[in-house]
Structure formats: structure tokens, C-alpha cells
């Protein structure tokens, strides 16, 4: 599983001017399943990419093995690109159900003519997505008389782009497998948010990243490497 989380970025120069459009610094992290059944958290340090770190971890723990790899994420392009660097095309992406459902509800609020139409269309489309039928949902959307055509086009593009990652959630859940990245949301909370997202706090990119690296080492019980 993979996700990124942002915190307030320090200004280059402090002043009394109100902060408008406050800058953010983002830390990305990976939660890998280990052969023993537990998990390890990876956060890349300065001058080491997360792709390089993840590849090194795979070589160390799974060298010579044929893996069936599943990546659960919110579908961000950054994550998709990184997975391509690590695995090539040899992995199954899964779009987190929570983010998919949230995206549908948010954009349908601007696509549908009114609240009643939004509810009606969601009742038709969400069960189809739950069973992995993204193409059918796209056909429904294209027939819609949209209130905001740009949002209709945005949702269609989103579903088409993520279609390989929209799986049969119903079947996967019945098999007892995760369909969401809730565990990863919890991970970035532990790695970054609890310490760094307090009132009036702001961080340099390096400072935020290094602190997350230290926290990852603590969570992995691998503090010897901090020396």
C-alpha cells in the first residue's frame, strides 16, 4: 500500500503577513507485507528515491521468487508512476474503494441537475462499480445531460484512466481481502501526521522527511540502522 501526506511548509522568510495559499511539503510512504506476515514501513531519505528504496527491499527479501503483487492506493499519478518504476507492468493496481466512492459523490454533485437525480444515478452506478463494471458506468455518464460538462468529462476521464484498477470489490471483500487503503491512511498518520500536523507547526522539506524516516525505523523496530 502507498500514500502521501502533506504538512505545512516553512516560509523562507517569516513575516506578519497573513498566510494565503500556504505551501505544503509532502512525504510519501509505502507499507510492504513481509514474508513473515507482518509489515514494514518505508520512507526514503534525502537523495534516495522511494522507488530505489522499495526495489532494494524487494531484492533483499524476495530475490529469486516469483511474486504476485497487488498495490492498493488512491490512484494518484505519482504512485502509478512509481509502481511502474518498481514493478514495470507486473502488478495488479487496486483503486481504493473509499476514494472511488468519494470521487463519484463529489463530482456527481456538480454533474446531476439536482439532488434527486444525483441520488438516483449513484444508486445505479455505485453497485456497478462495486462489481468492477467501470465501462458500463462510463456509458451511463456519457448519456447524461450534465449540469457541468467539464465535471462530466473529468469523471469519465478518471474512470477510464483507473479502469484497470477498478476490480470486483464485492468478490475481493467476500474472499476476506482488503479493498481499501485504510491501513495506509493509519500508517501515514503514525509516520507523519501525529507529530507534524499540530497547530502553528511548519516544516522544511528535509526536516519533515527526516523525522518521518526516524519514525519509520522506530515502527519497524530497526533502530540499529539509525546509528
- Predicted pLDDT at 79: 87
End-to-end CA distance of the chain: 28
Are 147 and 53 within one domain?
no
Are 13 and 58 within one domain?
yes
- pTM score: 0.79
Helix (H, G, I), strand (E, B) or coil at 71: strand
The CA-based angle 45-47-52, given to 5 degrees, is 75
Residue holding cell 462510463?
A: 138
Buried b (16+ CB within 10 A) or exposed e, 137-149: bbeebeebebeee
pLDDT digits (tens, 9 = 90+) for 90-130: 899 999 999 999 999 999 999 999 999 999 999 999 999 99
The residue segments making up the domain with residue 157 are 97-172
Greater model confidence, 38 or 191: 191
- Predicted pLDDT at 125: 98
Are 192 and 89 within one domain?
yes
- Predicted pLDDT at 97: 96
Are 78 and 59 within one domain?
yes
Determine the average pLDDT of the residues in 26-39.
84
Share of the chain above pLDDT 70, in %: 93
- Number of domains within the chain: 2
Greater model confidence, 223 or 227: 223
Give 20's pLDDT tier (boundaries 50, 70, 90): low
Give the domain-ending residue among 172, 188, 216. 172
Determine the average pLDDT of the residues in 148-157.
97
Residue holding cell 530505489?
A: 52
Q: Above 50 in pLDDT, residue 167? A: yes
Which H or E element spans position 93?
A: strand 92-95
Give the domain-ending residue among 132, 155, 172. 172
- Predicted pLDDT at 18: 47
Greater model confidence, 3 or 226: 3
Are 103 and 92 within one domain?
no
- Residues in Cβ contact with 133 at an 8 Å cutoff, skipping those fewer than 6 apart: none
Are 40 and 78 within one domain?
yes
pLDDT digits (tens, 9 = 90+) for 55-97: 988 888 888 888 888 999 888 888 889 889 888 888 999 999 9
Amino acid at each position: 500500500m502507498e500514500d502521501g501526506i502533506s504538512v505545512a511548509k516553512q516560509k523562507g522568510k517569516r513575516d506578519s503577513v497573513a498566510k494565503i495559499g500556504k505551501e505544503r511539503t509532502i512525504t510519501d510512504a509505502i507499507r510492504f507485507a513481509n514474508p513473515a506476515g507482518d509489515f514494514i514501513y518505508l520512507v526514503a531519505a534525502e537523495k534516495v528515491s522511494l522507488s530505489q528504496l522499495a526495489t532494494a527491499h524487494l531484492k533483499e527479501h524476495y530475490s529469486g521468487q516469483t511474486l504476485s503483487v497487488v498495490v492498493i492506493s488512491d490512484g494518484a499519478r505519482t504512485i502509478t508512476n512509481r509502481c511502474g518504476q518498481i514493478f514495470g507492468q507486473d502488478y495488479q493496481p487496486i483503486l481504493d474503494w473509499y476514494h472511488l466512492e468519494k470521487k463519484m459523490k463529489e463530482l456527481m454533485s456538480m454533474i446531476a441537475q439536482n439532488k434527486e437525480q444525483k441520488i438516483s444515478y449513484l444508486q445505479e452506478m455505485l453497485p456497478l462499480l462495486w462489481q468492477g463494471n467501470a465501462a458500463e458506468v462510463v456509458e451511463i455518464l456519457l448519456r447524461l445531460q450534465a449540469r457541468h460538462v467539464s465535471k462530466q468529462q473529468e469523471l469519465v476521464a478518471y474512470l477510464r484512466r483507473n479502469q484497470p484498477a477498478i476490480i470486483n470489490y464485492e468478490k475481493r471483500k467476500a474472499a476476506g481481502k482488503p479493498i481499501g487503503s485504510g491501513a495506509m491512511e493509519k500508517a501515514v498518520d503514525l509516520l507523519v501526521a501525529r507529530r507534524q500536523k499540530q497547530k502553528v507547526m511548519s516544516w522544511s522539506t528535509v526536516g519533515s522527511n527526516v523525522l518521518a524516516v526516524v519514525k519509520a525505523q522506530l515502527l519497524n523496530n530497526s533502530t540499529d540502522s539509525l546509528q
